[in-house]
Structure 1
Amino acid sequence: MFVRARKMHADEVDHDVPLVHRLIATQFPQWADLPVEPFDSSGTDNAIYRLGQDMAVRLPRRGTAGDKDLRWLPRLAPLLPVPVPVPLGEGRPAEGYPFSWSVFGWLDGVNPSPETLTAPELLTKDLAEFVTAFRRIDLPDGPPGYRGGPLSLLDAPMRIALDDSRGLVDTDAVTAAWEADLKTPEWAGPPVWIHADLMPGNLLVVQGRLSAVIDFGTVGVGDPSCDLIVAWNLLPAAVRDDFRAALQVDDATWARGRGRALAIALIALPYYLNTNPVFAANARHVINEVLADH
């Protein structure tokens, strides 16, 4: 008997192994005999199922998940220093599943966490090289990156999250930190290419080194501070300055990155408190790290 996967959103659609088998059998019959296994992921936008040994099936959990990566990944991949997902097939809504879905090549590695880093100095170097490569991409007509606009756009959801987080965090301290970073001048330069979601769940490591970056649904152009959030959601304080120095980040961009990290964490904490414990735990970590930086 198959148990349906745990839902993270009130409007998330049902998905399970039999559904994936049916979708594959009808749309990609060449893979119909391969085993399908659910993959335990803290990702919030897509459910992942492993297909055989070399592929992954990605099902959007709800209609808000986009497919920008299907268009852009083949163009971005040759320009980046680590492997990224390779799209192998795009599925259509069927079998009661209402959204487009996709098959990607499988990438080996594990998601890092702040508590399990074995080579933080080397991982810092790897991440800085990845972000630098992204900033140097020169592809025309890039879409707006998710969260790539002014930091002030996060103020309204932050105020709601502050109310929802009372009793969970020191909301007075969080408010003071947020308002300080919110006063920072906005990015005045040209928009640059950004991944825009460098969370631990979107990174893979092997023997402590960055082996791949996944989930490019938020990719686009915008404020380069978006890709600094990894400094607080993963990197230890002892190497944070090395990350900043490698990227040659000015004070204003660093403060906006810190503010973005705080906003993402605080908005996520009450929302995922009971449905995604890994994500919620990382949100608490980020909040503590940002407050320690102020």
Structure 2
Amino acid sequence: MLAERLPLPTPTPVRVGKPSQLFEHTWAIARWVEGEPADRGPITRMEAAETLACFLSALHHQAPADAPTSQSRGIPLAEVQQIDHWFTVVGDYADAEAARQVREKAVAAPAWQGAPLWLHGDLHPANVVVRHGTLAGVIDFGEMCAGDPATDLSAAWILLPVGAATPFFDAYERADEATIARARGWAVLRALTLIEIGQNGRLGLPGGKPTWEPAGYATLERVLATS
């Protein structure tokens, strides 16, 4: 079982139910992961860099040939659709242009040449649990797929405090310069998505989540602070 080799708590199913006349859908009871989502209580302790690196090292193993793939994760950045309008959510023109350059550098970086690896696929602040300022669990594996690990490695800027990206990659050990460049590009896209969804929440639009906007801007600030 995947959860047995991961070094952080995850919402492991303890009971799965089948559809019935009482409830027509498959259902499950999962282990509770104690803590607070990072969009409400961000990670502040640098030790989380090694914790996250150990988690992803344990997860990033070669996926089988029949593993699911995604049209929006684990793929070359150039294939991600509807990019240009996302940059308009950033109020500061200079930051938007700097973010665009990071993305262009990521697109130009050599592509992933290894076998597709298992990915969480959706490591953003609402999908990790924080306790006492550090990473305490990972939840929501609904986007799990196989592909380029750069998608997950973008969490170095999405989740960790300022200055933690370098110790994170030192601990992860398997990311070359091209992979790190692609990861920065993914972090930019994640930041823009968080900002847009957060702005929708601030405006009261359906599907919006107000706590995601500051998390998105914090991500963008950390990405742009990295040379």
For this structure pair, what is the TM-score category when the shorter chain's length is used for normalisation?
A: 0.7 to 0.9
Match of 2:226 in 1: 293
For the pair 1:104 / 2:30, whether they are aligned, the reply is yes
1:134-173 pair list within 5 angstroms:
134-136=59-61, 141-145=66-70, 147-154=73-80, 156-163=81-88, 165=89, 167=91, 170-173=95-98
Q: Decide whether the 8 Å contact of 1:113 with 1:234 is kept in 2.
A: no
Match of 2:156 in 1: 231
| Shift in alpha-carbon separation, 1:286–1:246, aligned structure 2, 3 A | same
In the TM superposition, residue 284 of structure 1 has moved relative to its aligned partner by 1.1
Of 203, 217, 223, the residue aligned with 1:284 is 217
Number of aligned residue pairs: 216
For the pair 1:76 / 2:9, whether they are aligned, the reply is no
Inter-partner Cα distance in structure 2 for 1:277 and 1:256: 28
In the TM superposition, residue 219 of structure 1 has moved relative to its aligned partner by 0.9
In the TM superposition, residue 270 of structure 1 has moved relative to its aligned partner by 2.4
Q: Decide whether the 8 Å contact of 1:114 with 1:236 is kept in 2.
A: no
Inter-partner Cα distance in structure 2 for 1:126 and 1:157: 33
Gaps of 5+ in 2: 202-208
Q: Decide whether the 8 Å contact of 1:151 with 1:186 is kept in 2.
A: no
Inter-partner Cα distance in structure 1 for 2:48 and 2:18: 35
| Shift in alpha-carbon separation, 1:282–1:116, aligned structure 2, 3 A | closer
Inter-partner Cα distance in structure 2 for 1:265 and 1:214: 19
Inter-partner Cα distance in structure 2 for 1:167 and 1:209: 30
Q: In structure 1, the residue corresponding to 2:114 is in which secondary structure?
A: coil
Match of 2:182 in 1: 256
In the TM superposition, residue 141 of structure 1 has moved relative to its aligned partner by 2.9
Inter-partner Cα distance in structure 2 for 1:238 and 1:131: 19
1:100-159 deviation per Cα after TM superposition (whole angstroms, max 9, x unaligned): 654323221122369754532x211111110000013666632125501111122x3221
Q: Decide whether the 8 Å contact of 1:197 with 1:227 is kept in 2.
A: yes
1:47-77 deviation per Cα after TM superposition (whole angstroms, max 9, x unaligned): xxxxxxxxxxxxxxxxxxxxxxxxxxxx311
1:16-55 pair list within 5 angstroms:
none
Of 180, 192, 208, the residue aligned with 1:266 is 192
AA aligned opposite 1:89: V
Match of 2:131 in 1: 206
1:165-198 deviation per Cα after TM superposition (whole angstroms, max 9, x unaligned): 2636532222222212221111011111111112
Return structure 1 stretches of 4+ with deviation > 4 angstroms: 90-95, 97-102, 113-116, 137-140
Question: How big is the alpha-carbon RMSD for the aligned residues of Structure 1 and Structure 2?
Answer: 2.8
| Shift in alpha-carbon separation, 1:159–1:191, aligned structure 2, 3 A | same
Inter-partner Cα distance in structure 1 for 2:221 and 2:134: 25
Q: In structure 1, the residue corresponding to 2:87 is in which secondary structure?
A: helix
Larger radius of gyration: 1
Q: Decide whether the 8 Å contact of 2:128 with 2:138 is kept in 1.
A: yes
In the TM superposition, residue 238 of structure 1 has moved relative to its aligned partner by 2.1
Q: Which has the higher contact order (CA 8 A, sep 6+)?
A: 2
Inter-partner Cα distance in structure 2 for 1:210 and 1:268: 20
- More displaced, 140-149 or 185-194? 140-149
Q: Decide whether the 8 Å contact of 1:144 with 1:220 is kept in 2.
A: yes
In the TM superposition, residue 234 of structure 1 has moved relative to its aligned partner by 2.0
Match of 1:89 in 2: 16
| Shift in alpha-carbon separation, 1:77–1:262, aligned structure 2, 3 A | same
In the TM superposition, residue 225 of structure 1 has moved relative to its aligned partner by 0.8
- More displaced, 168-177 or 213-222? 168-177
Gaps of 5+ in 1: 1-74
Q: Decide whether the 8 Å contact of 1:195 with 1:216 is kept in 2.
A: yes
- TM-score, normalised to structure 1's length? 0.65
